[in-house]
Structure 1
C-alpha cells in the first residue's frame, strides 16, 4: 500500500480527511478478504455520503466506516447515531433511484465496519430499512 503523506498542519500526522481515506481503503481490502465485491466508494448524493458500496452474494451493502483511537467515548460503532443512520438511508435511497432501483426492488442492507484502536468490528445489518 502506498505511503500516505502527513497532514500539512501536523508534521508526521495524518489530517482527519487523510485518516478517513486510509481507513476506508483498509476497510475495502478487509471486506474484499471476506468475500464482498467492490461497487463504489465515497458516493455523494444530496445531503450525504456513503463510504463504501459493495455486493455480498446478491445483496447490495452500504457500508459506513468509522475509526476511533480508543473506546474511551464509546468506540467507533457507537458513533453511528440515529441521525447518521437517517442520512445513510436517505443517501442510499437516492443512489438506488439513480441506478433504477429502490428499497422495494433491490435486496440491500447497511453494515458498519468500526475500527477502535487495533480492533475491527464488522456489524452486519447494523440498522434496519424503514418499513
Structure 2
C-alpha cells in the first residue's frame, strides 16, 4: 500500500527589506495625503466623518458631509496633478459607489443624504484639487 504523505506547505519568503521599507513609506505618504485632503475639505466647509472606512466593497479614503451631500472621497497623490486626476479607474469608481451605499445603509442618520463620489488630487508643490461629483469614465 502506497500511502501518500502530505507535502509540507511551501515556505513563504520574507519580503526584502527594501520592499518593506518602500511599502511602509508609501503607506505613510498615503496616510499623510489623506490628512492633507481632510484639512482641505474642512477648510471648504465639509465635516469629515471618517478615514479609511472598510466595507465589503472596498475602502473609503474619506467620508465627508456638507449639507445634504455625503461625499465618498478618493484621495490620489501622484507626481503631477494630471496623473492624480487620471488615476481613478472605472472599476474603482464602481467599488466606491458600492462602499458608500453600504456605509449609508448601515447608518440611519446618513440615509437621507445624497451620495456623491469626489476626489482630491495631490501633487508636490501644488494646492490640492477637489473634484466634486466624479463620473465613471472608460470601461474596465
TM-score scaled by structure 2? Answer: 0.73
3-state secondary structure, aligned to 2:133: strand
Q: State the distance in 2 between where 1:79 and 1:9 align.
A: 24
RMSD: 2.3
3-state secondary structure, aligned to 1:47: coil
3-state secondary structure, aligned to 1:87: helix
Equivalence map 1:32-47=2 (5 Å) = 32-47=42-57
Structure 1: runs of 5 or more not aligned: 1-6
**Given the alignment of the two structures, is residue 122 of structure 1 paired with residue 134 of structure 2, yes or no?**
no
Q: Which runs of 4+ in 1 moved over 3 A?
A: none
Q: State the distance in 2 between where 1:45 and 1:55 align.
A: 18
- Cross-structure match for 1:3: none
Equivalence map 1:1-131=2 (5 Å) = 9=21, 15-70=25-80, 74-100=82-108, 105-119=112-126, 120-127=128-135
Asked if the contact 2:33–2:75 (Cα under 8 Å) also holds between the matched residues in 1, the reply is yes
For residues 7-38 of structure 1, give each alpha carbon's deviation from its aligned partner in whole angstroms, at most 9, with x where no partner exists.
9726xxx6111110000001101110111111
Q: State the distance in 1 between where 2:75 and 2:118 align.
A: 9
Deviation at 1:106, TM superposition (A): 2.6
TM-score scaled by structure 1? Answer: 0.78
Count residues with an aligned counterpart.
116
Q: Which structure is higher in strand share? A: 1
For residues 74-121 of structure 1, give each alpha carbon's deviation from its aligned partner in whole angstroms, at most 9, with x where no partner exists.
51010001011011011111111111365xx43121110001232322
